[in-house]
Amino acid sequence: MVRVLKDYPNIDKYVQEREEALMHPWKESDGNIGGGRSNVPGKPAEVMAITIADDRRLSNLERNKRVVQECLDNSDNQTITIIYELYIKQHPTLTLQGVADKVNLTPSAVKKRRAKFFEMMRAELGW
């Protein structure tokens, strides 16, 4: 759960890297020049579209981004600040107490909002 939140700011970059890896896979050079028929499909663009659409890692990245965004969209401003400061921010600087002070809540109230957000994410992710 925490890993999904910490990866959230970089998911677009991960998706782009994965699509690049799928479109341009590494191929071992073949020393057998000229012999035999090609085993490359006749319509590589169609095969590539199917490969990208069926890639499990790519699908998981896109699903994780959608779930985090939906959960943030369905949260109030205090909860968004809590999740951002503790997990999404590139270099978190606040402790739980610091976040509680920032959003004018008690630490136990911050923990309850965080737990509710995690529960919403679990439900959306099917965990």
pLDDT interval class at 100 (50, 70, 90): very high
pTM, two decimals, is 0.72
pLDDT interval class at 31 (50, 70, 90): low
Q: What is the mean pLDDT of residues 85-95?
A: 92
Find how far residue 34's CA is from the centre of its chain. 44
Tokens standing for residue 97:
């107490």
CB atoms within 10 A of CB 83: 23
| pLDDT on residue 51 | 60
117 burial type by CB count under 10 A (0-12 exposed, 13-18 middle, 19+ buried):
buried
For residue 52, pLDDT over 60 is answered with no
DSSP 7-57: HGGGHHHHHHHHHHHHHS------S--S-S---S-S-HHHHHHHHHHH-HH
For residue 49, pLDDT over 60 is answered with no
Q: Are 5 and 85 in contact (CB under 8 A)?
A: no
| pLDDT on residue 60 | 86
